Amino acid sequence: MEWLWPLFEPYVRKNFERRGIEDPDMSDLDAAFLRLVGSSTVTILVQEPWRGSVRFKGLDRLAAAECMDLFRDPEGYLFGRFGGGKYKLNFHEGWNFVATQNFKPEGEPKWTDLPDLGT
Question: Are 83 and 58 contacting, i.e. CB atoms less than 8 angstroms apart?
Answer: no
Predicted pLDDT at 76: 96
Helix (H, G, I), strand (E, B) or coil at 82: helix
Q: Determine the Cα–Cα distance for residues 48 and 8; give it in Å rounded to an integer.
A: 27
Predicted pLDDT at 52: 79
Cα 56–Cα 101–Cα 54 angle in degrees, nearest 5? 20
Predicted pLDDT at 119: 58
For the chain, list residues with pLDDT below 70. 119
